[in-house]
Amino acid sequence: MPRTRQELVRREVWAEVEDAHAETVARRETEDAFRAYQLGEVRILELLDADRMALRFRQRLTALQAEARRAESALERAIGF
């Protein structure tokens, strides 16, 4: 459990960095799939599948971020921040 406001901020920043990294990886994979499609290396269904998976990832990431922020808010209220 975080003991200081600084620790809460540090945890939030770290979570945002991890989220941004995961989003970057997902977008690069989608970009790679599109490039492979353009070069004729994959079929359209494979491209659409990669895009669908990236969308699901972004939706799940958004839901997890919202849950984390709600939990952080509850924690801050509980400890008086």
pLDDT tens profile 49-74 = 888 888 888 888 888 888 888 888 88
d(CA 49, CA 62): 20
pLDDT for 17: 85
pLDDT > 90? residue 41: yes
3-class state of residue 46 by DSSP: helix
Q: What pLDDT band is residue 2 in, cutting at 50, 70 and 90?
A: low
Closest by CA to 23, choosing from 65, 48, 54, is 54
- Whole domain around residue 47: which residue ranges? 5-79
What is the domain count for the chain? 1
Q: Which amino acid is at 57?
A: F
